[in-house]
Structure 1
């Protein structure tokens, strides 16, 4: 499920914890970062942006994007990078499945932002100067509830406790 849905499930008591992209968190939810997930701007190898030696956000903004839905934490991270420079996004399509975004980018439909772990020869990373995108992944629990032993053991594994 999407991160935002996972937050709601933990808040409502339907699940004990969620491993998710972390976003803004308010009590009674508690979010704990486990690892950083750097993002890179990517295009198809034959995309016009792929031929540029230096790429700025204004160059990228001139082309359509495929990103997660605007309500997602990941979309907000990308959109804020453009908004800070007074640029807006041209969304061609949205989907919350990163593999689908990668496929749509790889066939030249649009540019996207993908985690480093998903990069391969199907997409080309754009050499964007001065922009570092990253999201934090971790777990969310309800601060007002006691976790089961299974949940506690799982969290210990996530933290790398012996």
Structure 2
């Protein structure tokens, strides 16, 4: 949806200010980054630490939110960029003004508690067996849900599955407690979870930024550091 005229004028002023501030090449000032909860916990800490050491003049303002929210805030000029789950190019309905750069591949595994009935001695199960037990997934509007749905919809409908929260850490807790199965990043597996021998959807995690706006020097420096930590072949 087009931005109101007054907001467009304010964004134009901010854009001009950024271009002026960038001239001297200094890396300082405020940096507004949207971060998904999962990336903030499992991918970002060492990057933030390194950035803070090399650029102490930058004041980091991190906002934890979901990919869909991040796209809106980037469009409205409320974030310089975001690090979040990326939609597939062919199904990207977030916003045509948003440019995405994949950084990490994030495989998901179907998991349950180690004492769940789905766990068998052979570790082999039929994907249809999932329909017989409660499933716990994030909201149907999320990218993660869409990836899981693509695998499961040929076998059974997902509309009866619970979507209690979009927070993967909370879903992990519920699965560990035996409340149902879910699909979680393999990086979250521990001794309380059993990985089921089923297909593994893969999410792309990466950078979201506005196509037509100038990034402040601090944002350019942070993005460069993030890219240096990318999976081989991602960019």
TM-score by length of 1: 0.92
List runs of 5+ in structure 1 lacking aligned partners: none
State the distance in 1 between where 2:172 and 2:81 align. Answer: 28
User: Using a 3 Å threshold, how does the CA distance of structure 1 residues 73 and 52 change in structure 2: closer, same or farther?
Assistant: farther
User: Any idea what SS the aligned residue of 1:110 has?
Assistant: coil
- The alpha carbon displacement at 1:12 in A equals 1.5
Which is greater in Rg? 2
Pick aligned residue for 1:11 from 68, 72, 75: 75
User: Any idea what SS the aligned residue of 2:162 has?
Assistant: strand
User: Any idea what SS the aligned residue of 2:144 has?
Assistant: helix
- Are the counterparts in 1 of residues 71 and 95 from structure 2 also a CA contact under 8 Å? no
Corresponding residue for residue 97 of structure 1: 167
Pick aligned residue for 2:97 from 28, 38, 42: 28
- Please state if 1:56 is matched with 2:56: no
Corresponding residue for residue 146 of structure 2: 76
- Are the counterparts in 2 of residues 92 and 110 from structure 1 also a CA contact under 8 Å? no
- The alpha carbon displacement at 1:26 in A equals 4.4
User: Any idea what SS the aligned residue of 1:48 has?
Assistant: coil
CA RMSD of aligned residues (A): 1.5
- The alpha carbon displacement at 1:63 in A equals 1.6
Moved over 3 A (4+): none
Equivalenced residue count is 158
- Are the counterparts in 2 of residues 22 and 31 from structure 1 also a CA contact under 8 Å? yes
Corresponding residue for residue 45 of structure 1: 114
State the distance in 2 between where 1:80 and 1:94 align. Answer: 20
